[in-house]
Chain A
Amino acid sequence: MKRRFFVIGFLCVLLFAFRSADMFIDLPECFGKPVYDFKKSPLTYQRVELGRKLFYDPILSKNNQISCASCHSSYNAFAHIDHDLSHGIYDSIGKRNAPALMNLAWQSSFMWDGAVNHIEVQALAPISNPIEMDESLVNIVAKLQRAQPYPRLFFEAFGDSVITGERVLLSLAQFQLTLISCNSKYDSVMAGTSAFTAQEEIGYNLFRQNCASCHKEPLMSNYEFRNNGLKVDTTLNDYGRVVMTANPKDSLLFKVPTLRNIEYTYPYMHDGRFKTLNQVMNHYTSGIVMYPTLSPELKKPIVLSANDKIDLISFLLTLSDKSFVFNRNFAYPSPNNSSSAPKE
C-alpha cells in the first residue's frame, strides 16, 4: 500500500517536472542574503533571456533607436564609457553619468538619488524620461505584441503569450539580477586562493583607512547617500537626493557607487566630471568643498602622498572582474540564443 502511494507520488512529481518547462537559475551567493526576494519571483532561464533581449532592443524607445545597452554597455561593466553625461534619444544630453550595473540584488534603492525603490520598477524611469527613451510602457506593450518573436518568447517565459507591462518589467529585472560580479583578484585574495602584490597590499591598507567606511567591503559600497564634497556644477545645478525627499539635509547627497570594476566604468562621479582615477584621488585629497551636508568622514582631510595614490590605484585595479565584463551570457544575445544556453 505504502509503495503504491510512493509510486503515485513519484509519478506526480515527474509529471510536474515535465509540465513546467521553466529552468530555474541559481545565482552565486557572493555577498550573503540579497535584498531582492528571489523566493517571490524565482529567476527562470526563459525570463532572464527575454529580459536580456529586451535590454538590448531599441524597441523600448520612442524612435526605436535607443536601448538600455546604449548607455549600459556590458564591456564597461554596464556603464557608459567616455560619456560624462549620458546621451539618450534625439542626441539629448542627460544630467547624470549612467551608473554601472552589477550586484543589483543587494541594493535597496536605485538611481543616483534613490528615486526608485525596487529593481522591478527601475526601468520605468529611463523608459519614460523624455531625454532618455521617451517612451511609455503602454506603447512598448503594443509594439511588442506586433514584433516577432516576442509573443512566442513571452509564451515561453510566462506560460501564455499575453504581454503586459508587469511581464516586461519583471523580465528586464530578472536579466539585470544575473549581472553579478564577484570574481576579481580582490575576491580570490579574500578567498585565500591568490595574494596581493606588495604594492596592492599597501593600497589595500590605504583603502581600508580612507575609503572603506563608505565603500564598504565586500560590495565596495554601503549604498547609502553621501555628499562627497564635489563643487556644484552651475550648468547642471543638480542637488541630488533633496529633490526626492525635500529634506534640506539631503542637499547634494548622491548614492555611494561601488568601486568594483572601476577600471572599466570611467568617467567617474554622478556627473562624470573626472576622466581618470588620478583626478579622483586629487579630489579626495585637495578638492573637497566644505558644504554643510558634507559627509562627516570627509571633514578631516585625507592625506595621501603621490606614491600612496599610485598604490591605492593599484589596489583599485584588483577589483576588475574580467569574467564579468566578458561574460557572453550578458552580451548582445545571438539570434538563435544557442551560445547562451545554461550550463548544467
Chain B
Amino acid sequence: MDRHLRENMVIILHINYTQVRAFVRNIFVSAIAAFVLLLNTSFINLRSDKITFTGYFGTQQLMSGKNYYSASRGDSISVDMLRFYVSKVEILQNGHVWGQADYKLIDVFDTASNFLGVDYYGLGPMTELRFYLGIDSTTNMAGVGKNDLDPTKGMYWTWQSGYINLKLEGASKLCKSNRGKYQYHIGGYSYPANALRTVVLKVDRYTGEFNVAVDVEQFFANVDMKETTHVMSPSLKSQGLADQAVKMFSLK
C-alpha cells in the first residue's frame, strides 16, 4: 500500500473514533439531563412562600390607635401607623439563597399589603429569612420608582431625595410633644446617615410560610420617648432608631 494512503486512512480512522466517543458521551449526558429533569418535575416544584408581617405589642396583637400599657416604660403607648419597606428579601437554606423578592411596602394594619410572596424552585426545609429593612442606596440614586416605590405611596421625602425606610407614628403620655404625638420617619441612604439595616431571622420549623412578628414594644424599650418625639430626616438619631427597629422582628 502506498505510504500516503496508509497515513490518510489512519487519520480517517482517528476521526471516526473521536466522533464515536463524542456520540457516546452525548447520549450519556442526555440521559443524566433527562434523569435530573424527571427529578425536577416530580420532587422540586416551584414554591411560593408567603411572608406575612403582623404587629404586636409584647404578646398582644397590635391594633391601630389602641393604647397598650408598657410595664417597662410605666405608661401606655398607641400606634396609628407602622409602614416599612422590605427589600432584597431572601430565603436561604444553609447559607445558600434559593428565593429572592425585590421590594415590598408593608403596612401591618392593612391585610391587603402586610405580606409578600417569594417564588423559587427548591427542596425544603429553608433555614433562614433575610431582608433589608428599607431601600438601598443604588435604588435611592436611580430616580423615580414605580409601584410600591412610587412617591405617591408617602414613603419618599420631598425636600431632600431619599426613601423613608420606616414610618412609625402614634401617641403616648411619655412624649413631651403636643398631644403626646410621636412621629418616627427613619431613612437616609448615604454616609454618614445610612439607616439601611439587615434583618436576619433563623427558621426553627419550616412550614413553607413565614409569619414575622413585628413587636413595637421592642422598639420603644430603648427610645427616649420624652425628648425624641419627631425624627423626620436622615441623621444620627434616625440611625439609632433604625438599630432599634431591627429588634422588632422575629419569626413566630
Contact = CB atoms under 8 A, between A and B. Distances in A.
A180 to B, nearest CB: 19
A166 B158 contact: no
Interface string A121-137: 10011011100000001
Interface stretch (B137-145, B201-209, B218-226): B137-145
Contacts of B154: 138
A117 B158 contact: no
Contact of B152 (A41, A120, A141, A244): A141
Given A117-B161, A118-B141, A124-B151, A166 B146 contact: yes
B159 A166 contact: no
Interface residues of A, number: 25
Given A118-B161, A128-B158, A129-B159, A165 B143 contact: no
Contacts of A173: 143-144
B235 interface: yes
Contacts of B152: 137-138, 141, 164-165
Interface residues of B, number: 20
Contact of B151 (A116, A119, A137, A246): A137
A117 B151 contact: no
Contacts of B140: 117
A244 B156 CA distance: 16
Interface in B140-194: 140-146, 149-152, 154, 156, 158-162, 193
B161 A169 contact: no
B235 A246 contact: yes
Contacts of A118: 141-144, 161
Contact of A165 (B141, B151, B159, B161): B151
Given A137-B152, A141-B152, A170 B144 contact: yes
Interface in A1-28: none
B160 A115 contact: yes
Given A165-B150, A165-B152, A166-B150, A119 B158 contact: no
B147 to A, nearest CB: 8
Contacts of A128: 158-159
Contact of B144 (A115, A125, A169): A169
Nearest to A124: B158
Contacts of A115: 159-161
Nearest to A127: B158
Nearest to B162: A117
B233 to A, nearest CB: 9
A182 B155 CA distance: 38
Contacts of A125: 158-159
A60 to B, nearest CB: 13
A124 to B, nearest CB: 4
A88 B68 CA distance: 44
A121 B151 contact: yes
Contact of A169 (B142, B151, B162, B193): B151
Given A124-B151, A124-B156, A173-B143, 11 more contacts: A118-B142, A118-B143, A141-B152, A164-B150, A165-B144, A166-B145, A166-B150, A166-B151, A169-B151, A173-B144, A246-B193
27 contacts: A40-B143, A115-B159, A115-B161, A117-B141, A117-B161, A118-B141, A118-B142, A118-B143, A120-B143, A120-B144, A121-B156, A124-B151, A124-B156, A124-B158, A128-B158, A128-B159, A129-B158, A129-B159, A165-B144, A165-B151, A165-B152, A166-B145, A166-B150, A166-B151, A169-B151, A170-B144, A246-B193
The 4 nearest A-B residue pairs measured at CB: A120-B143, A165-B152, A128-B158, A120-B144
